[in-house]
Amino acid sequence: MTLEDALARYPGAVTFTFGDSRALCDALLALVRSGQKTATCGAARDFETDGEPPPVAGRRDIALDWDGNPALVIETIEVTRRRFREVDMDFALAEGENDDLDGWRRDHRAYFERNGGWSDDMELICERFRLVEDLGGVP
């Protein structure tokens, strides 16, 4: 399915890419496909400065693969704002990337340090979602 087709099927959808590298993007898409990843978060500053609209409960969005092809459609179930230090084990496990809160903190700190800076006090947009449709796209 082309991006144009996906946007026609899901009017109002925002497109985005998980992660900051091909390997991370592929791994996160696989976690969503497997049902292990049902949450994600981003630095609030990135939504404010990059102009990307933040997630909205009830909206369906299109996750792209690293090459910009539509891979998945997700529907946002819940959006909360919290400080990095306030992320709890329940949310960390819903992200599907780690088995414990310490691992989540370590990996997300490294990600945010690579992408504009990190602080324990930084505000995050935390999103819970469900997979609506797998649009193909391997891996």
Residues 105-133: pLDDT tens digits? 999 999 999 999 999 999 999 999 999 99
At residue 51 the predicted structure's pLDDT band, cuts being 50, 70 and 90, is: confident
Task: Tell me the pTM.
Answer: 0.92
pLDDT in tens, 53-80: 899 999 999 999 999 999 999 999 999 9
Query: What pLDDT was estimated at residue 128?
Result: 98
What does the alpha-carbon distance between residue 42 and residue 94 come to, in Å, rounded to a whole number? 14
Evaluate if residue 48 carries a pLDDT over 90: no
Residue boundaries of the structural domains of the chain: 3-132
Q: What is the mean pLDDT of the chain?
A: 94
The CATH homologous superfamily for domain 3-132 is Sulfate adenylyltransferase (3.10.400.10)
